[in-house]
Structure formats: C-alpha cells, structure tokens
Structure 1
C-alpha cells in the first residue's frame, strides 16, 4: 500500500486538487475568478521551465549515442521501428476519433487570446524555423528550438573527445532541469486546482462531458491497441512463436508499468523480458533504454485525443488535412521530448499547445486528460518497447533470429 501511494501520489494529489477546484467552481461560480492568478503563476512556471528542459533532453540524448559500426545498422532499423509504430498508433487514433467524435458536440470556450489560422506553408515555416536566436527561447518557437537542439547534439557527437566537457554539461543540465520540472509539479495540485476552479466557475460543467468522452475513447482504444496491435507486431517479429513468447513474458513488465507509472522504472523488467524472449543482447541493451525515453505509443494515442478536445474547446477544426498532418508530426515530437518519469507527458502537452499557438488556457484541459490516462499510457509506452525490440531483431538478424539466439 505504501509503494502504491508512493508511485501514484502525484496523480492522487493532482486529482484531489482538481476535485476540490471543481467543487469550488460549482459552489462559488464566477467568484472563483480571484483564484485565476494562482493558476497563471503555475502555468507560467511550466512554460518557463520547458524550454531548457527540452533543449538539454534532446541534445544530451543525441550527444550520448555511441558511434560504432556494429550498432549503426541496428540503430537505423530501431529508429524506423520507433517512428512506424508511433505513427501507426497516431493514425489509428485519428480514425477512432473520426468514428467516435468526442469533439463535435463540445461548445467552444471564450478565450482572451486570439488564435490565428494561417496557411500550411506559413505554419510549417514558423513551426520549424526562426530568424533570430533569441526567439528560440520563446515557447512559440518550440519546434525550431528542438531542431536546434538536434543540431547541437549531432555537432557534439562529431566533436567526440574534444567536446567531452560539453557532453557533461548537457547531461548535467538535463538532470538539473528534470528536477526543476519535478519541483514545479509539486505545486500542481494547487495551481491546477485553482485553474480548474476558474474554468468550471466561468465556463460551467460542460467541461466534464469533454473529459468523460475523451477518457472513454482513450481507455477503449488503448486497451484494443494493447492486445490487438502488440499481438500483430509480435507475430510480424516472430510468427506464432513470437506471439506466444511476447505474451508469456509480458505479464511482469505490464504489472510493473501499472504499479510504477514510469517507463524508466520499468526498464529492468523489460530488459529481462526481452532476453527471455530471445532478443540479442546488443539489441536489447540499446533499444529498451532508448525506447523508454524516445518510443511512446501510449503518448501518441493520448496526444491525438488531447488535440481533438483542445481544438474543439477553442473552436478550431481538427478534421482538416493540415491539422491531421501536423498532428501526426507532433505525436512523433511529443514521443521524443517526453521523459520516462511519472506524468512526463506534461512536457508533450506544453509542446503541442505552444506549437499550435494555443493560449495558456489550453494547458489545463490537456493536463487533466493526461493525468487521468497516465496509467494506461505508461503501460502502452513501456511494454511497447519490448515488442519494438523484437521487431528490431527481426529486421536486423533475419526471420530466424530466435533460432540463432537459441543456438548460441
């Protein structure tokens, strides 16, 4: 019981703050507008911290990659597998949203900040580039900053030993800002509770319908994806034998993922499962740790659901080709920048809200959905790494990769 509270204390406290804020909003109505500054302070702290956090996270991850010929082909295949499964999960979620439209009947909220709809070419230019360095420090230039972080990471990788001190700086900066983010999130129950009180008091109980429908879609589709798509991936990797081995060795990682609510904490269980399945060690030891940080099918699904709800709440069309194409690209970026820590999805929410130009009022609805789906999202994120390692083995070692492992 103590371990359960330790692992889920963040979610429990956030939900407690949300519930108390909702009650205050229902009871006091528009009088709770006095609490809005508390929520604003919390959101401003998050938006301020996310820029350096994402920079250090991306740059340090790339700079830390080992450049060896033995791993180069495998890592290329691994990247393809990660991208393919994340995009498949995002595309199928978009189809699920079209079949079960959770957003069409939502009434748009009144907002204080104008959102401009621009042509796709202009959106892409502003999303991926900026003409001044200082603009990289703005949350409105998140994607440009991520691209810059990738360039820094590869430049550091090319410099090798000459940049050893800079690599240490990137790694230490990553650790520091992870803890900055954790410290800010300790204010989450108060800040998010205050903001939710404001939203319920001003905009009314219509918000609850949005959350109920989105949660129903996420858990229904997420459970389907867990059993159906992971089974398909395991079958592609190793046929019937791969299917059987995956599910026979996936019980402990699944239970650990739900119990810890952390992909990082589940790495040992996934490593053990992958080795029992027969994935070669050199694939297991790279794919599983990197997958905990970079590969997140569950976050991809939740990103699409959150986007659909936020778009509807702020009166924007989520069914256009432009929005869908950008959403697919955004899910890949969200999967990369989110940490493997509990509630690490908040980084991804900050990213897509900033990239789409939504005002700060868009963050609380996305955070609330992210909090409520976090256990299943972690399950999909984490156990998806094991089946991804099987796919990497299949395309790196050939269709008889399990026989080679057994012979060895």
Structure 2
C-alpha cells in the first residue's frame, strides 16, 4: 500500500526526472559537431527534437480551450456567488499579502544567487523591443480583436474574458442553465485530453533536453541543478522564518509554539502527496487541535488549498529568473515588478484552475518571451514539475498557518488565549 501510494504521488515526477536526465546524457554524449566556418558536420541529438516539438505543440493547442472553459465553468457554476464574494473578501487579502512577501523574498534570493551562471547563444526568435508600462497594462488585460483572444499569445486577456463569461453564465441561470452544463462537461472533456497528452510528456522532455544539451552543452545541466538546490533550500528557510512570524502576528507569542507543535504533519503530508487538496483533512485536524475556530477552518483551509500558494509564487519568480538568465536578459526594474505581480496573480488566481500550473507558466513565457516560447515553455514546465514537492509543502502547510491570521481578524487578537481558557471550563463542568 505504501509503495502504491508513493508511486501514485511521485511516479510522474520520477518519470519526468528520468526522462530529463536521460535526455541530458544523450545530448552530452551525442553533441552537435560544427566546422570552423560554423557549418554543421553532425546534427547529434538534435535529431530527437521532433519528439519534444510534438509534445509542445499538443500542449499549445489544448491550453487555450482548457483555460476558457475551466475558468468560465468554475465561476458560472458557483452555487452561492454572494456567499463566495463574502468569503473571498475576508480571506483573499491575506493570501495576496503572503504571496507578495514570498515573491519579493525569493526575487531577492535570485539577485544574490543567480540561477544561471553561463551564457547561451539561443536562436529561437529574437527578444522583442521593450514596450511602455501603459501599453504593457493594456496588453495585460485586452487584445485588439476578438479573433486574437483565442491565442496562446494572449493568455491573460483570455483569462479576463473567461471571468466575464463565467459571470455571464451565472446571471443566465448558472449550473442549471444549458450553457452552464455544457461548459462544465467541456471542462471535463478537455482535462481528460490533457491527461492523455501528459502520458507522452516524459518522451517529449527526453527529446527536448537531448536536443538542448547537444546544442548548448552540459553547462545547462549545472544551471538546472543550481536552480533546484536554491529553491529546495529556500522553501525550508521560508517555512522556518516566515511561518513563525505569521503565527506570531495571528496568535501572539503562544501562536509560535502552538504552530510548531502541529506544523510537521501537514508539511510532511503535502511533501509526500504533492497535493494541497489531499492535505486538507490533516490541516483541518491540526487547525482545530490548535484552537482555530471551526468556522474559520471550514472556510480558510478549503479556499487555501486552491488559492493560497506562496510556494507557487516563489516558483514563478524562479522560472522567470532562470529564463532571463538563459536568454541573457536583465531581470531588474519594471520587468522585475511585473514578474512579481504575475507571480502573485498566478499563485492566487490560477492555482485552483484545473491545469492552472501549466497555464501560469504559459502566462509567464507569453508576457516575457513571446518569440522564444518553443524553448521557454518546456524549460519552465520542467522546473515546475521538479520543484513540485517543496512548493506544495509551503503551499499547504502555509494554509494552516494563515488560519491563525484570519482567526485574529474574526475573533480578536486574543483568540488563542480564549480557546485555551475554554478547555478547563468544559472539564470543570463535566
């Protein structure tokens, strides 16, 4: 049973890792050979590139309808939009703030420890000219023509349109309407298609990395390792530094000790299952054992499993910083600010969407590397898969800690002391 659960949780990650390593080895022992004049003598492992191209093209084709139908369906089929709005109003602010803190902190780490230390002569397109901030904001939300909306190069405008469509469905009957049921069924159909495509992913990544290493050399492997080690280490640092501060803010000095006495279980569960949703029962139990009011846990923890993703916020910064390094771009100024905004947005707004992680990565490369998507997207996707365990650990364990902050705003700053006083009274009454 343990072995079965392990393979269920980590089987795909292991397959991806084996495929990437195998591809890197093949690319290393079968490199591209060029003559002094720059002409190619032997194509080496680049002959395997079509394996990767096939996977990338399949994903590009399915991701647009996936985003449109899944977001529209999620909003259009809400049972109680008024209650949902009230819940969002009391908790989403905390999610945004902690996600912003995580993104900023990890950006600082990326400036101190750059994930890429080598230079690469990448030829997949050219870096576009820098556009103005106002135009960037316009492009962030809209496109000039309806036909341009359904393109992988306009993911954020598509998300905005999907949100409006969802509210339109809600106003026309919601889940009971014909359109609501159709969108719900289409979402299920598309996710099954995505699952089928995903089975091919290890083969695609094998071909992609074999070609990449054959072309650009083994230096790329070292940069990947550097990025992964930095992220894994910082996730634990973040958990043992930021979480106590959040617990102190939410529950005072006592909150720190209570939090640490219960944190291990949800952290291990999340790391082992790679699922925030699977950690909800454990989070519920430890939160209630900690004295967090039940009505708070019933709202914050299920919402947090899909909308509170500090680890995902940090991973978005890692992917952008890594790609900026790969393409030799300067990751400072307005681009850094935009990356942080997108990181927070993708962690809060898209993590609960089916396939949201892949969508977030596509949004990142669309915004910053529109002419290098064939290279940038699989690199970002591979990083996302390899850092999933620690990212989920920070995401899910953070849900438990955030419940302390929400409890403070709903029950007062002394809520934890009051809960502690209730137990002796109950025992005395009995």
- Can you give the 5+ residue segments of structure 1 that lack an aligned partner in the other structure? none
CA contact (8 A) 1:230 1:384 kept: yes
Q: How does the TM-score come out when normalised to structure 1?
A: 0.92
CA contact (8 A) 1:54 1:337 kept: no
Task: Tell me the distance in 2 between the aligned counterparts of 1:254 and 1:162.
Answer: 35
Which structure 2 residues correspond to residues 16-31 of structure 1 after superposition, within 5 A? Answer: 16-30=18-32, 31=44
CA contact (8 A) 1:74 1:392 kept: no
C-alpha change, 1:64 and 1:231, in structure 2 (3 Å) is farther
Determine the structure 1 residue equivalent to 2:187: 174
| Greater CA drift, 258-267 or 176-185 | 176-185
Tell me by how many angstroms 1:87 deviates.
0.7
Give yes or no for the alignment of 1:383 onto 2:397: yes
Cα RMSD of the aligned pairs, angstroms, is 2.3
Which structure 2 residues correspond to residues 133-152 of structure 1 after superposition, within 5 A? Answer: 133-152=146-165
2:52 to 39, 48, 66: 39
Task: Tell me the distance in 2 between the aligned counterparts of 1:87 and 1:61.
Answer: 25
- Can you give the 5+ residue segments of structure 2 that lack an aligned partner in the other structure? 33-43
Tell me by how many angstroms 1:25 deviates.
0.7
Tell me by how many angstroms 1:161 deviates.
5.4
Aligned length: 405
CA contact (8 A) 1:257 1:263 kept: yes
Task: Tell me the distance in 2 between the aligned counterparts of 1:59 and 1:70.
Answer: 18
Task: Tell me the distance in 2 between the aligned counterparts of 1:222 and 1:182.
Answer: 28
> How far does the alpha carbon of each residue in 1:118-161 deviate from its partner, in whole angstroms, 9 at most, with x for none?
22322222222112222121011000011112222333344455
CA contact (8 A) 1:111 1:361 kept: no
Give yes or no for the alignment of 1:3 onto 2:34: no
Tell me by how many angstroms 1:14 deviates.
0.6
Give yes or no for the alignment of 1:363 onto 2:389: no
Tell me by how many angstroms 1:287 deviates.
2.0
C-alpha change, 1:178 and 1:222, in structure 2 (3 Å) is same
Q: How does the TM-score come out when normalised to structure 2?
A: 0.87
Task: Tell me the distance in 2 between the aligned counterparts of 1:400 and 1:345.
Answer: 37
Task: Tell me the distance in 2 between the aligned counterparts of 1:271 and 1:214.
Answer: 33
Task: Tell me the distance in 2 between the aligned counterparts of 1:366 and 1:301.
Answer: 13
Task: Tell me the distance in 2 between the aligned counterparts of 1:292 and 1:177.
Answer: 22
Give yes or no for the alignment of 1:113 onto 2:115: no
1:338 aligns to what SS in structure 2? Answer: coil
Which structure 2 residues correspond to residues 24-103 of structure 1 after superposition, within 5 A? Answer: 24-30=26-32, 31-65=44-78, 67=80, 72-103=85-116
> How far does the alpha carbon of each residue in 1:268-315 deviate from its partner, in whole angstroms, 9 at most, with x for none?
212222222233333322222222122211111111011111011112
Q: Which has the larger radius of gyration?
A: 2
C-alpha change, 1:10 and 1:344, in structure 2 (3 Å) is farther
Give yes or no for the alignment of 1:309 onto 2:311: no
CA contact (8 A) 2:175 2:181 kept: no
C-alpha change, 1:332 and 1:58, in structure 2 (3 Å) is farther
